[in-house]
Each structure stands twice: as C-alpha cells, then as structure tokens.
Amino acid sequence: MESPSQAPHSGGSLWKGLLLTASILSDWIQLTSAQSDSVSVVPNPPYGAVGSSITLDIQGSSEQTPSYTWYRGAVSPSNEIAFYQVASGQLTSADSRLNVSSNGSLIIRDLILNDTGDYFVQFLDPTSSKIVTAEGYLAVYGPLSKPTISSTNMAPVENKDNVSLTCQSESQEVTYLVWYINQSSPAGDRIVLSLDNRTLTIINVTREDQGPYECEVQNPVSVNRSDPFTLNITYGPDTPMIVPTEPNYPVGATLELSCSADSNPPAQYTWLINGIQTVFTPQLSIPNVSLNHTGTYTCSASNSVTGLSSSKDISITISEIASKPNITANRTNVTENGTLVFTCSTEHEGIKILWLFNGTSLSLNERQYLSDNDQTLTIQNVTRKDAGSYQCEVWNPISSNRSDPLEVTVNYGPDYILFSPNPVTDEIQVILQTSLTLVCQVESYPPAQYEWRVNGTVNPEFTNNTYVIKNASWEDSGQYTCLAWNNITELSVAKDITISVVAEQSQKGSSLSGGAIAGIVIGVLAAVALIGALIYCLSFRNTGGADLL
C-alpha cells in the first residue's frame, strides 16, 4: 500500500513534532542498532536501468516490525530518504519517486544515474528487541552511446610499423569492452590488449591486418558496437606478374604486355627493353615488331610510400615464318660401304634443323653425324638399310617447314645364294621322267644377272635365276652351278648343287637312281659267280678224296 510522501499543510505543527520525534528516535537507533549479516538489501532486478523502476527487497527477515527507515550513502539523519509506519501505512519520503511496501521493500521509480549507491534499511527485530541494519548496493546504468575507434597510425607500413587502436565511448557506465576483427575475437601473438581492453595493439602489421575492426561496449542493461574501422595498410609492391607469358612472336605482329603487382597505394610502373627505359605505364604495346625487338623486357614496379620496388623479366623472341628448305646430296645412288653427304639449305640464319628418314625423326647411329649447325648430315659406310626418303625440317618457336623428300638408293650384293627347293644336303633328287624347277635366290640391287652351268658347261638357254628340268632322264643327273653377279657393285657369287635322277618310288617309298640299279645287278652277278665257285671247290674236294682210298 502506497501513502503520500508529505503530510497535509493544515497539520504543520504536528508534522514538526513528528520530525523531532523521528530525529530523537534515529539518534537512539544509532546507539542501539546492530549490523546483521543474515539480513541484506537485494535489488530486484539486480541492476537498474535509467528511466525504469526497481525494488530493493529485504532478504533474511520475515518478522513484522512497526516501521522501516531507509538511508542512502550512510546511516545518518541527513541521509534518510524514507520512513514507513506499518500500522498506519504512512510514508515519509524525501523524494516523490520513492515508495515503501508493507514488507519494507523500497521502490524507486524513474531511475537516474545518481540513484547509484549504497542503501541501508533499519527496523526493529521483535524477537531480539534490537534495531537491525541491512545494507545493499544499487547500480543504475544508462543506455550506452556508440563507441568510436581511433588509430595511432592511419597508414602503417607492412612488416615495419605497429598500430594501436583505441575504443572511445562517451558513456561512463561501461562495464565491459570487447574487440572483433573480421567478426571474430582477436587471436595471435601479434595482437596485444591493454588491461582495460580499450586499446588493441598490432605488432608488425601485415596486409591481412586491415580488418575491419569493431569494438563493443557493454553494461548490464545496454550493448552498443562501433562502426567498422578498416586500417589502410601500405605494402608492396610484390613481384610483378607479366601477361601474357608467351615469349615468341612472328615478325609483323603486335606485342602487347601488361604488368601488375599487388601494392597499396597502387604501384608506379616502368618498362625497360634490354635495360633501356621505354614507357611508364602498366601496359606496353609495340605494333609491327621486327627481329630487332628480340630481347629482355623488364617491368619495374615501385611504391613511393613504402619505398620498395620489385621487377620481373621476360625474354621475347621475334622470328620469321620459316620458308621451305631445300635438301641436296652428293649422290642419290650409292654403293654399299660408300659415303653419303646431305645438305639442308635455308634462308634463315640460326634456325634449328631437324633431319627425317622415311617421315620420322632420324636417330643418329655411330655411322652418322651432323655438322655444328646441323645443316650437313654425313653417313659413312652406307648399308642397304640406309636406302629411303630423306628430308630436313627447319623450325623456330612460331613455325616450321619441311623440304621435299629426296630418295636415295643403295647398290649392294649379291651376297649369297639360296636354292629353292632348299635341300638339307647339297643334293636334290628328282624322279625319273618328272620335272624340277630350281630357283637361285640372291639379294642384290640392282637385280643380279645369272648364268647356269651343268657339270662345268654353261647352258645358254637359262639366263635368269630359274633352271627348269622337264621329263628328267638319267642324263640330267650331275652338278649344277648358279652364278650371280652385279655389274654396278662388280660383285659375284656362285653355288653348286647336285641333281640326282632316281627311279619311281617303291611301295615302301624308296627309290634308286640308274647307277644304283647297275651296281645292284653287278653285285648280284658277282655273288652268283662266287657261290658257284664255292660249290665247285667243295665238290672237287670230295671226289678227290674217294679216289685216294
């Protein structure tokens, strides 16, 4: 129940008497009261907000008492702010914003910052008949204004300067202050906070430290955060990057290069060609380039604030479109073991030359070698495998061209002879009255010429590599010789083979030549004569013995 804080004007004398009585009673209470550890004053809610209301509850006492006296700052008559009589419900208050409930709780409306302080309440404990004093603290907070961030260095240099950021707030009721970097709490060995958290220091700033930074002030009833603050960190230039990276261009093309380097503030650029300054812009453009534009191109980037500079080189080669080369040789027809010398003629100086054999890159062996400029290819001790198509190809980084093919033939052979059919021994048997085709095979270029001999006599009928026997007779048996020669290489080769004419095969598949049959007949007759002589001798011996008896 609330009561008016002032008595009616008509009772002025009574009011003065009550004040005098209260003063005397207060003095007496101070002499006889006791501080209670079990009774306390507790704000509800725990903190007061400017403009709101709060109740200071008395905790630890449930006994009814005749009256409650409230003080602020200290227990003294001059600090008394409210007196409440329970029985009458009458409140004596020095401030219209104050009220006391029936249980002694002090209610303060329309809180102001000056309401912050220590509060005391005194009342009579019916049990002990002593005056009990309880105390509590009230903290009143107002809304916090937006803080601001200031920096000791507005343009720190990367890896050189330290920067201190300070969070400033016009509000005095700040109880807590926190920092945020990119919406996260500060972390790292290079981040240092002051004891009160108001100052954040960054050691050896880097470009990653630009932020944004925010500071937030807090008290129990209010929170406010600063606007984002970004550091303008100066750095660079880093090593420049040149695009495009293509180093080769044809004569007549437009050379365009662009240079960029990470830097704050932006870098200043200078282009140098073979060490000579050319332009002072990030881009370089040269139309209709010539061979004279070949060289080293350098982009130099500098930063006047950091005092740093860096550069990047690129080697540019200007080349002509390769024209078709011409290939020649000391000869295109060579005898095996001779020497071949090829020459590749081109209009371009210093151009690279590639040699090809039968359409593929030529892999040099121990018989082949190139001149210092690769224009001459020499092949010694030529073999038949070196015959084929030769080309040379000229190329530079932007083009290539290949000569027409040059065909080379190699004269060789004949080396050796193979007969067909090819017997296991040096004898071929042909059945009487059958035919035989004998082929003399040799490797030779140009193709070999042939001569056939039978038992040492030339047979002019056969002048190629084939000898034919038709309806073989006994007279066809003998030694056959194939002679092959090459008029270019002046080489020749001969080989003998024996031809034996035999009778028809027996049931067992055997066959006998004419000579073999004659031998058998003679052998049989000799055997018969020998047997007859033996019988005669035996018979004569037996007869002679009988006569002697």
For 401-426, the three-class secondary structure string (H helix, E strand, C coil) is EECCCEEEEEEECCCCCEEECCCCCC
For residue 514, being part of any structural domain is answered with no
For residue 393, being part of any structural domain is answered with yes
Question: Same structural domain for residues 161 and 85?
Answer: no
For residue 366, being part of any structural domain is answered with yes
Per-residue confidence (pLDDT) for residue 190, from 0 to 100? 94
Residue ending a domain, among 108, 126, 141, is 141
Per-residue confidence (pLDDT) for residue 173, from 0 to 100? 78
456 contacts: CB under 8 Å, gap ≥ 6: 479, 481
Question: Same structural domain for residues 123 and 59?
Answer: yes
Q: How far apart are CA 476 and CA 429, in angstroms?
A: 11
Which residue range is the domain that position 105 belongs to? 9-141
Question: Same structural domain for residues 434 and 475?
Answer: yes
Encode the chain (549 residues) as per-residue pLDDT tens digits. 333 333 333 333 333 333 334 443 444 344 344 555 689 999 999 999 999 999 999 998 767 789 999 999 999 999 999 999 998 999 999 899 999 998 999 999 999 999 999 999 999 988 888 899 999 999 999 999 999 999 999 899 999 999 999 999 988 778 888 999 999 999 999 999 999 999 999 999 999 999 999 999 999 999 999 999 999 999 999 999 999 999 999 999 999 999 999 999 999 999 999 999 999 999 999 999 999 999 999 999 999 999 999 999 999 999 999 999 999 999 999 999 999 999 999 999 889 999 999 999 999 999 999 999 999 999 999 999 999 999 999 999 999 999 999 999 999 999 999 999 988 888 999 999 999 999 999 999 999 999 999 999 999 999 999 999 999 999 999 999 999 999 999 999 999 999 999 998 533 344 444 444 444 444 545 554 566 555 554 554 444 443 433
345 contacts: CB under 8 Å, gap ≥ 6: 325, 326, 327, 328, 375
Residue 445 and residue 411 in contact, taking contact as beta carbons nearer than 8 Å: yes
Residue 394 and residue 353 in contact, taking contact as beta carbons nearer than 8 Å: yes
Q: How far apart are CA 395 and CA 473, in angstroms?
A: 71
**Residue 286, beta-bridge partner list:** 255
Per-residue confidence (pLDDT) for residue 36, from 0 to 100? 59
Question: Same structural domain for residues 208 and 91?
Answer: no
Question: Same structural domain for residues 308 and 330?
Answer: no
Burial of 306 (0-12, 13-18, 19+ CB in 10 A): buried
Q: How far apart are CA 403 and CA 377, in angstroms?
A: 14
For residue 39, being part of any structural domain is answered with yes
Question: Same structural domain for residues 247 and 357?
Answer: no
Give Cα 199 distance to the centre of its chain.
Answer: 42
Question: Same structural domain for residues 255 and 282?
Answer: yes
The SS3 of residue 188 is coil
For 145-182, the three-class secondary structure string (H helix, E strand, C coil) is CCCEEEECCCCCECCCCCEEEEEECCCCCCCEEEEEEC
Per-residue confidence (pLDDT) for residue 531, from 0 to 100? 61
Q: How far apart are CA 196 and CA 190, in angstroms?
A: 18
Question: Same structural domain for residues 77 and 152?
Answer: no
Question: Same structural domain for residues 48 and 113?
Answer: yes
For residue 246, being part of any structural domain is answered with yes
Per-residue confidence (pLDDT) for residue 65, from 0 to 100? 87
Question: Same structural domain for residues 134 and 77?
Answer: yes
Cis peptide before 237 (omega within 30 of 0): yes
Q: How far apart are CA 472 and CA 454, in angstroms?
A: 14
Residue 81 maps to which CATH number?
2.60.40.10
Closest by CA to 77, choosing from 35, 120, 36, 116, is 120
- Run of H or E residues at 43: strand 40-44
Residue ending a domain, among 390, 411, 432, is 411
For residue 234, being part of any structural domain is answered with no
Please give the tally of structural domains in the chain. Answer: 5
Question: Same structural domain for residues 282 and 343?
Answer: no
Question: Same structural domain for residues 18 and 127?
Answer: yes
Residue ending a domain, among 364, 379, 411, is 411
Per-residue confidence (pLDDT) for residue 424, from 0 to 100? 82
Per-residue confidence (pLDDT) for residue 501, from 0 to 100? 95
For residue 530, being part of any structural domain is answered with no
For residue 455, being part of any structural domain is answered with yes
